[in-house]
Amino acid sequence: MLSVTLRQSFTAAIIAAVPVAAGAQTFPSSAGPLKVETVARGLNHPWSLAFLPGGRMLVTERAGRIRIVAPNGDLSKPLDNVPGVHSGGQAGLLDVALDRDFAGNGTIYFCFNAAADNNVAVVRARLDAAALKLDDVKVIFRQKGPAGRANVACRIAQGADGNLFVSLGDHFGAKELAQKLDNAIGKVVRIKPEGGAAAGNPFVGRQGALPEIWAYGVRNPEGLAFNPADGQLWEQEHGPMGGDEINIIGPGKNYGWPVVSYGVNYDGSIVGTGKQTAEGIVDPVWHWTPSIAPSGMAFYTGELFPAWKGSLFNGALKFQLLSRLEIKDGRPVKEERLLQDLKERIRDVRQGPDGALYLLTDNEAGRILRVVPGP
């Protein structure tokens, strides 16, 4: 974890380095006007963003590239030694995350569809930012089950103990496997940073169950984050036609897909039992019907928007907006829809070390946007 001094230096560097973009747009919100600045452009379907010490950013592009973005928006060449990626449909290079001790060990994690078999793999590597390359590249997890190019998902969140939680989609055509424990389809897994099932996982030692599984019955989970207020792990997923969900993930819990859903199949037929809830299945704490197609999520703890402290922000692809959920007593109670006139698919949302919100736009000429209080 960064020391207090290093965090302060990191924040100061970001605030000093980020330029005020020409042509910034202003949008209304409950916290007053929001100014949206373009920090960087020219990214091909950017998927995930992580902040490096000193003001730079690490960004993945779905086609299989990782780049370092300078505070002035300059893009590096793609990093060397990234493994071969199968890119197509929703498949490709997906989430990236820095190790909790990145300042000391330079370790990053990322997930992608492997070129060899199109299934999801998680990699641990050491970033050599000066040489623009990865060293000590090691696959630490491979998703067991049939491959697919839809409902791929994959987000990474590192727990306080250093273990990694990884969300994995149902690959669309294999949804029934989300209820079975002998595969990693439609699951949240918990693994050690060096690979292998983490100690204390709920199905360790159970015959016919993968020891990496932490929770099951999820569909297409493109958001995963810890609530800093209580340390609980929150997950956000695409439903079918309707029924996008937010869940609080617990060990050994079943989240219902495809037995129950608040949505219906794309042909209008019922999902599973046709019910929204069932005994033994954990209900979502929030759902969107119709679907907004959520992707990326971040709890806000910064100082730029004091009225929004504790809020949960979610990007939306289909509805092209930023959703803010007000949290009360550990549950969402109210939604505010922001930036609807921006008309951009929001793939990822992160809180920057300067307290601003950073967004990735999902298109062939994707941008990094910075959201700050307006004039």
Q: What is the pLDDT of residues 17-33, one digit of tens each?
A: 333 344 799 999 999 99
Distance between CA atoms of residues 354 and 343, nearest Å: 25
Q: Per-residue pLDDT averaged across 60-65, rounded?
A: 98
* Whole-number pLDDT of residue 18: 39
**pLDDT of 180:** 98
* Mean pLDDT (whole number) for 172-196: 98
The pLDDT score that the predictor gives to residue 1 is 33
Three-state SS for 265-333 is CCCCCCCCCCCCCCCCCCCCCEEECCCCCEEEEEECCCCCCHHHCCCEEEEECCCCEEEEEEEECCEEE
* Cis amide bond preceding 290, omega within 30: yes
What b/e readout covers 341-369, taking b as 16+ CB neighbours within 10 angstroms? ebebbbbbbbbbbbbbbbbbbbeeebbbb
Task: State the Rg of the chain over Cα.
Answer: 19
Q: What is the pLDDT of residues 81-130, one digit of tens each?
A: 999 999 999 999 999 999 999 999 999 999 999 999 999 999 999 999 99
Percent of the chain at pLDDT > 70 equals 94
Q: What is the pLDDT of residue 350?
A: 98
> What is the β-pairing status of strands 331-338 and 346-351?
unpaired
Query: Which pLDDT score is estimated for 125?
Result: 98
What is the spatial distance between Cα 202 and Cα 224, in angstroms, rounded to a whole number?
Answer: 19
CB 80 within 8 A of CB 132: yes
Domain of residue 221, CATH code = 2.120.10.30
Residue 33, classed as helix, strand or coil, is: coil
Q: Residue 370 burial (CB < 10 Å; 0-12/13-18/19+)?
A: buried
The band of 261, judged by pLDDT with boundaries at 50, 70 and 90, is very high
Q: Which of 74, 70, 46 is nearest to 56 (CA)?
A: 70
Amino acid sitting at position 298? A
Instruction: Kindly report, residue by residue over 285-299, the tens digit of the pLDDT.
Output: 999 999 999 999 999
Question: For the chain, how many residues are written?
Answer: 375
Q: Which two tokens stand for residue 124?
A: 């641990």
Q: How far is CA 162 from the centre of its chain?
A: 18
**pLDDT, position 52:** 98
Amino acid 34: pLDDT: 98
Share above pLDDT 90 across residues of the chain, in percent, rounded to a whole number: 93
- CA pair distance 71, 87, nearest whole angstrom: 28
**Residues 46, 63: Cα–Cα separation, whole Å:** 9
Distance separating the N- and C-terminal Cα atoms of the chain: 35
Question: What is the pLDDT, as a whole number, of residue 15?
Answer: 35
| 113 sits in which H/E element | strand 107-113
**Average pLDDT, rounded, for the chain:** 94
Q: What tens digit of pLDDT does each residue of 309-339 get?
A: 999 999 999 999 999 999 999 999 999 999 9
d(CA 57, CA 50): 6
Taking alpha carbons only, the member of 168, 11, 24, 27 closest to residue 94 is 168
What is the domain extent for residue 241? Answer: 4-373
Whole-Å CA distances, 281 to 186, 220, 250, 256 = 15, 17, 12, 6
- What is the Cα 224 distance to its own chain's centre? 5
| Nearest alpha carbon to residue 308 among 273, 334, 339, 280 | 334
Confidence tier at 16 by pLDDT (50, 70, 90): very low
User: What 3-state class would DSSP assign to 308?
Assistant: helix
Amino acid at 88: G
- pLDDT band at 303, cuts 50/70/90? very high
Total domains in the chain come to 1
Report yes or no: 167 and 151 within 8 Å, Cβ to Cβ. Answer: no
CA–CA dist 137, 56 (Å, integer): 22
